[in-house]
A and B are shown apart, each in its own frame.
Chain A
Amino acid sequence: MTLKSWSTADVSAYLDGALAPEAQVAFEAAVSQDTDLQRRITEMRRMVTLTRSVPLREPPRNYLLTPAMVPEPRPVRRRLRLPLVVMRAATAAAAAAFAITSSMVMTQQGAAPGAMMRSVEAPAADALIQKEAAGEALEMHEAPMAMVAPAEEIPEATRIADADLEIEPEAEEMTLAAEAEEVEDSATPMGAASAELEMDAENAEPLGMGGGVEPTVPEVAEIEGDGEAQVEEAATEKIVEAPAPVVEDETLMEESLPVAPSDDTGLASADEAETPPNELLWQLVPRPRRSVRAWVPVTFGLTTIALAALTFWFSRRHRS
């Protein structure tokens, strides 16, 4: 075996007697013939002897234990675990609620830009409009007159509502023309206006919290003359039932509901008035979803931050 085959690790292990028996024999045979290997062994042995010869430091004291030095672990931590778990769960729940409500609000805003601003005003407007509608319905009880919007007009009517209350003149004319064909009694000229009210009430529904138009019941009362109280009552009921339409102000209401000329309108028959006038509209127009106010995710977000900070503080205090 040549000299180069014996590494420093072999020399080190040889000094400690840690070589395998076969390797030990071979190493000793090489040492007897290799002067350089002998020198390496001598130098390393001298260093090891020096390292082992220097006495250890005496410890500065005894380290005997006393019962006071090894106290029993306190069970305080277990008692604090449950509140910590509850706080973490509450934080997670608040964060989840924040995420859900935020996504809902963002979706609503994407569907109807500016809806959030209008939704804030919705509750007060709803109450006012419904109150007016109920009062007017009582007044109009003796003058049944209404027009039912034909089914062909639904897309156009829906589009009008989606266009954020901008009723186009063409749509109005078409509506009035169609109504005129179905009117049996042409002596009641205010029916078209009632039909418009119904249609608008239906169209306002899909806008949910943002884009609806509350029919102007006072106008109905103004233009109605004599007739068809049942139909009008049905229309009024629909108006009252319309879920949460939003009106920005009275001006908008008046502008969005033009009064039809008396020449182009007519009255619906009593039979037609008895049947649900807007059943088809109710089926075709998508139902409004439950709205989420803007302050809801904000509240959840603030709650999440507060709970997270409290949980972090509590856990740090518990750990220390």
Chain B
Amino acid sequence: MTSTPTMWDENALIDAAQRGQMDAFNELILHYQSQVYNLAYHIMHDPAAADDATQEAFISAYRAIKRFRGGSFRSWLLRIATNACYDELRRRKRRPSVSWDDFGELEEEANPHLVDGGLKPEESVQQQELRDLLERSIARLPQHHQTAIILVDRLGLSYEETANVMGVRLGTVKSRLARARKQMQALLQEERELLPARFRL
């Protein structure tokens, strides 16, 4: 595949992938893997599990690409990723394993990409702390509220796309998102001293 980001044509890549061209599908993977991984990370709360779920989601999507009938490819892909995460969570409930947290600092060492580059050390630390705070707060929400706020506020999906990913109606997305945001306000208020001044509620 010789396409470049400037020649990005999602529909053409999808057509080629449906004809069996794996390179075309890999182009789509490169474009969406960050969103898929972050969705998986927010659902799984475990980098290793998110990694596995992301890979599994792309494999499942490639096997099912011939059944894609148009519409938002991103919402279709994220729905597959969401299902893969829930399947993995159910499997882990049946067969609990050692948590990634047990490895402590190994997480950062094994995943150098998690450390943001191009920032001053103090800025990087501050951003890391803020992200940790945000992820902790999101993790305290009910599962459906987590998914809604991640899809809309973290990944930037529209209400319609979110409804497709979650398999619910548009009104349900609105109500879940509103409740999630209100709960997030209360949770961040509890730790307002950790927030930057411009974000203190």
Contact partners of A43 in chain B: CB under 8 A: 185, 201
Q: How far is the CB of A70 from chain B (nearest CB, A)?
A: 6
B51 touches A60 (CB 8 A): yes
Q: How far is the CB of A27 from chain B (nearest CB, A)?
A: 14
Given contacts A8-B179, A65-B59, contact A58 B34 (CB under 8 A): yes
A51 touches B134 (CB 8 A): yes
A60 touches B113 (CB 8 A): yes
**Partner among A9, A51, A63 whose Cβ is within 8 Å of the Cβ of B153:** A51
Given contacts A13-B178, A50-B188, A54-B131, contact A62 B30 (CB under 8 A): yes
Contact partners of A58 in chain B: CB under 8 A: 34, 113-114, 116
**Bound CA span A44–B189, Å:** 12
**Bound CA span A253–B201, Å:** 106
Contact partners of B149 in chain A: CB under 8 A: 51
Contact partners of B199 in chain A: CB under 8 A: 46, 49-50, 53
Q: How far is the CB of A66 from chain B (nearest CB, A)?
A: 8
**Bound CA span A21–B96, Å:** 50
**A 1-36 contacts with B by CB, 8 A:** 7-9, 11-13, 16, 18
Q: Which of B4-12, B35-43, B66-74 contacts A (4 or more CB under 8 A)?
A: B35-43
Given contacts A59-B113, A61-B51, contact A9 B134 (CB under 8 A): no
Q: Binary interface profile of B, 139-176, with partner A (CB < 8 Å = 1, else 0)? A: 00000000001001111100100000000000000110
**Bound CA span A11–B178, Å:** 8
Q: How far is the CB of B37 from chain A (nearest CB, A)?
A: 4
**Partner among B30, B35, B55, B130 whose Cβ is within 8 Å of the Cβ of A56:** B35
**B 32-88 contacts with A by CB, 8 A:** 33-38, 41, 47, 51, 54-55, 58-59, 62-63
**Bound CA span A148–B29, Å:** 101
Q: Is B127 in contact with chain A by the CB < 8 A criterion?
A: yes
Q: Binary interface profile of A, 58-85, with partner B (CB < 8 Å = 1, else 0)? A: 1111111111011000000000000000
Contact partners of B125 in chain A: CB under 8 A: none
**Partner among A7, A18, A52, A67 whose Cβ is within 8 Å of the Cβ of B22:** A67
**Partner among A9, A46, A62 whose Cβ is within 8 Å of the Cβ of B174:** A9
Give 8 nearest A-B pairs by CB, closest first: A59-B37, A12-B178, A9-B178, A58-B113, A51-B153, A60-B111, A50-B199, A56-B38
Q: Is A48 in contact with chain B by the CB < 8 A criterion?
A: yes
**A 89-129 contacts with B by CB, 8 A:** none
**Partner among B41, B62, B159, B195 whose Cβ is within 8 Å of the Cβ of A50:** B195
Given contacts A9-B178, A44-B185, A63-B54, contact A55 B153 (CB under 8 A): no
Q: How far is the CB of B194 from chain A (nearest CB, A)?
A: 11
B174 touches A69 (CB 8 A): no
A64 touches B154 (CB 8 A): no
Extra inter-chain contacts (14) besides given A47-B201, A56-B34, CB under 8 Å: A8-B181, A9-B178, A12-B181, A18-B174, A47-B185, A47-B188, A52-B153, A55-B131, A58-B113, A60-B114, A63-B33, A63-B58, A65-B58, A69-B59
Q: Is A319 in contact with chain B by the CB < 8 A criterion?
A: no
Q: Is B13 in contact with chain A by the CB < 8 A criterion?
A: no
Q: How far is the CB of A182 from chain B (nearest CB, A)?
A: 86
A50 touches B174 (CB 8 A): no
Q: Is A57 in contact with chain B by the CB < 8 A criterion?
A: yes
B47 touches A60 (CB 8 A): yes
B178 touches A54 (CB 8 A): no
A18 touches B26 (CB 8 A): no
**Partner among B29, B134, B178, B184 whose Cβ is within 8 Å of the Cβ of A62:** B29
A12 touches B174 (CB 8 A): yes
Q: How far is the CB of B101 from chain A (nearest CB, A)?
A: 16
**Bound CA span A217–B14, Å:** 97
Contact partners of A49 in chain B: CB under 8 A: 199
**Bound CA span A54–B149, Å:** 13
Contact partners of B41 in chain A: CB under 8 A: 57
